[in-house]
């Protein structure tokens, strides 16, 4: 399970001394920002803006922290593809031996295209279609995390049509408050996810009786950006009790999937380390023979990436000053969607007095903002970096206002790899047709 720690280049200014969250391979060198061995300004000159930039060393270090915390335990780390589904990112994790947590047939296709193993894929999500079920069964995935009684019946029928048996786990909803943003809470009674804990035993009996299903495990995921291990530890203890009741009922499970959700630092949060987060979960399953599965997403990629953007205009106002940049809410939706904070730093700050700015894009919506009231010493044409943007940045982007989506680049030491070319406007309407 142990993976050698990746080399993180030294810097003139240690990352810990920089006044922003810990992207471990971002350094200040001679008054400008570098990621690993490349200057952000050079990356912008080469690839344009807006561009998402990721650090391969940071991705590897984040994955290693999970492997190290699970050393000595039979466990599988399944990267949650929805956090960032770029093939370059997926290929890094596939080479490290990761499994993958998917929520669509499209994500399965991406995993396979990136070299991931179907036998290490778990398929979550409340709305799996018949076509997606067939696709996953034919690929030979590890397990379906079933989220309703109706899905259980449909999956049995689809597996029967293919003359196979579908491996299943029920995603149980433990009704535990994850103490996170309500939009990313998934484990309460009022959430759409999972099956009610009180119904789990009867549904497992039903699953065991269906001819085209093979019960293999149980799954539980209560939310994202978790900063306190206690709610997930409570959920884990409930799941442990369910596992024991199922065993007494003659239903033996091969694995327990405890989801993901570990948070990261965006601003002033103090998330636990991976080891501290996992400690009470591992304790809850001490002595259990089942393999443990985890589905981290944000904690693997969030602080491995940033969004590079250029200031188009500085617009002073009576009550607010605006820095209008070439990135927008279509590129990074989290601020508009969750009022989320991303640290904004000048790539090469000027030796002038800083001013307070609203960081906004060119989209025709008042909600098109990337940051409020930030202090920056900048001029028109300067580059800004929006940090902690590796998770739920590009995957949530859109083409609103007919804006091509950003390029994506992975930095590996002193090399830069374009892993997604910037879209063109012509590509956006290539599948459309004007009426005759």
User: Across the 436 residues of the chain, what is the mean pLDDT of every consecutive 10-residue run?
Assistant: 37 44 85 95 98 98 97 97 98 98 98 98 96 98 96 98 98 72 44 83 96 97 88 91 95 96 91 95 94 97 98 95 98 95 95 96 96 97 97 98 98 98 98 96
pLDDT at residue number 268? 87
Q: Residue 193 phi/psi, 5° resolution?
A: -90, 150
The answer to whether residues 79 and 300 touch, using CB atoms and an 8 Å cutoff, is yes
The answer to whether residues 219 and 144 touch, using CB atoms and an 8 Å cutoff, is no
For the chain, domains (ranges, CATH) are 15-55+302-428 (2.40.37.10), 56-298 (3.20.20.10)
Stretch (H or E) spanning 356: strand 355-360
Task: State the CB neighbour count (10 A cutoff) for residue 374.
Answer: 20
Alpha carbon separation from 389 to 120, 177, 206, 344, 403 (Å, rounded): 27, 26, 43, 11, 19
Task: State the CB neighbour count (10 A cutoff) for residue 40.
Answer: 23
pLDDT at residue number 18? 53
Global pTM reads 0.92
334 appears as a binding residue in the annotation: yes
pLDDT at residue number 117? 98
pLDDT at residue number 192? 65
The answer to whether residues 70 and 77 touch, using CB atoms and an 8 Å cutoff, is yes
pLDDT at residue number 4? 36
Crossing angle of helices 87-95 and 105-113, in 10° steps, is 60
SS3 222: coil
pLDDT at residue number 8? 36
The answer to whether residues 355 and 322 touch, using CB atoms and an 8 Å cutoff, is no
Selecting among 78, 143, 293, 364, the annotated active-site residue is 364
Classify each residue of 191-217 as buried b or exposed e, where b means 16 or more C-beta atoms within 10 Å of its C-beta: bebbbebebbbebbebbeebebbebbb
22 appears as a binding residue in the annotation: no
Active site residue 288: no
Which residues pair with residue 262 across a beta bridge?
226
Rounded Cα–Cα distance for residues 426 and 424 (Å): 5
365 appears as a binding residue in the annotation: yes
pLDDT at residue number 229? 87
Which residues pair with residue 324 across a beta bridge?
313, 360
Q: Which two tokens stand for residue 329?
A: 């809410």
* Of residues 212, 231, 210, 228, the one with CA closest to residue 220: 231
**Mode of pairing for the β-strands spanning 166-173 and 99-102:** unpaired
Rounded Cα–Cα distance for residues 141 and 336 (Å): 36
298 appears as a binding residue in the annotation: yes
305 appears as a binding residue in the annotation: no
């Amino acid at each position: 399970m142990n993976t050698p720690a990746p080399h993180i280049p030294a810097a003139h200014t240690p990352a810990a001394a920089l006044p922003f969250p810990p992207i471990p391979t971002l350094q200040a060198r001679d008054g400008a920002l570098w990621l690993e061995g490349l200057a952000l300004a050079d990356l912008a000159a080469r690839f344009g803006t807006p561009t998402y930039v990721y650090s391969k060393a940071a991705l590897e270090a984040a994955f290693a922290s999970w492997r190290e915390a699970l050393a000595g335990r039979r466990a599988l780390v399944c990267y949650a593809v929805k956090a960032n589904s770029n093939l370059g990112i997926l290929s890094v994790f596939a080479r490290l031996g990761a499994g993958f947590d998917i929520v669509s047939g499209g994500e399965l296709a991406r995993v396979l295209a990136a070299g991931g193993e179907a036998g290490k894929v778990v398929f979550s999500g409340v709305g799996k279609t018949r076509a997606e079920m067939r696709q996953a069964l034919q690929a030979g995935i590890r397990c379906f995390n079933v989220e309703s009684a109706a899905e259980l019946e449909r999956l049995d029928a689809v597996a029967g049509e293919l003359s196979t048996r579908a491996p299943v786990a029920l995603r149980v909803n433990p009704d535990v408050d994850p103490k996170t943003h309500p939009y990313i809470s998934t484990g309460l009674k009022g959430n759409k996810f999972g099956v009610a804990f009180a119904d789990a035993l009867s549904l497992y009996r039903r699953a065991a009786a269906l001819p085209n299903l093979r019960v293999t495990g149980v799954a539980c995921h209560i939310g994202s950006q978790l900063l306190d291990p206690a709610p997930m530890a409570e959920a884990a203890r409930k799941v442990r009790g369910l596992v024991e009741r199922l065993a007494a009922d003659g239903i033996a499970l091969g694995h327990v999937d405890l989801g993901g959700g570990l948070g990261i630092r965006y601003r002033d949060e103090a998330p636990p380390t991976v080891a501290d987060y996992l400690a009470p979960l591992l304790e809850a399953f001490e002595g259990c023979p089942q393999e443990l599965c985890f589905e981290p997403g944000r904690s693997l990629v969030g602080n491995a990436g940033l969004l590079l953007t250029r200031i188009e205009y500085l617009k002073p106002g009576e009550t607010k000053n605006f820095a209008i940049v070439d990135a927008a809410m279509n590129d990074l939706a989290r601020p508009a969607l969750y009022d989320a904070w991303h640290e904004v730093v000048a790539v090469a700050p000027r030796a002038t007095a800083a001013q307070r700015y609203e960081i906004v894009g060119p989209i025709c919506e008042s909600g098109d903002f990337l940051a409020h009231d930030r202090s920056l010493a900048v001029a028109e044409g300067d580059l800004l970096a929006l940090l902690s943007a590796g998770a739920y940045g590009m995957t949530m982007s859109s083409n609103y206002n007919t804006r091509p989506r950003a390029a994506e680049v992975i930095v590996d030491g002193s090399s830069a790899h374009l892993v997604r070319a910037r879209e063109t406007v012509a590509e956006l309407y290539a599948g459309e047709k004007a009426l005759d």
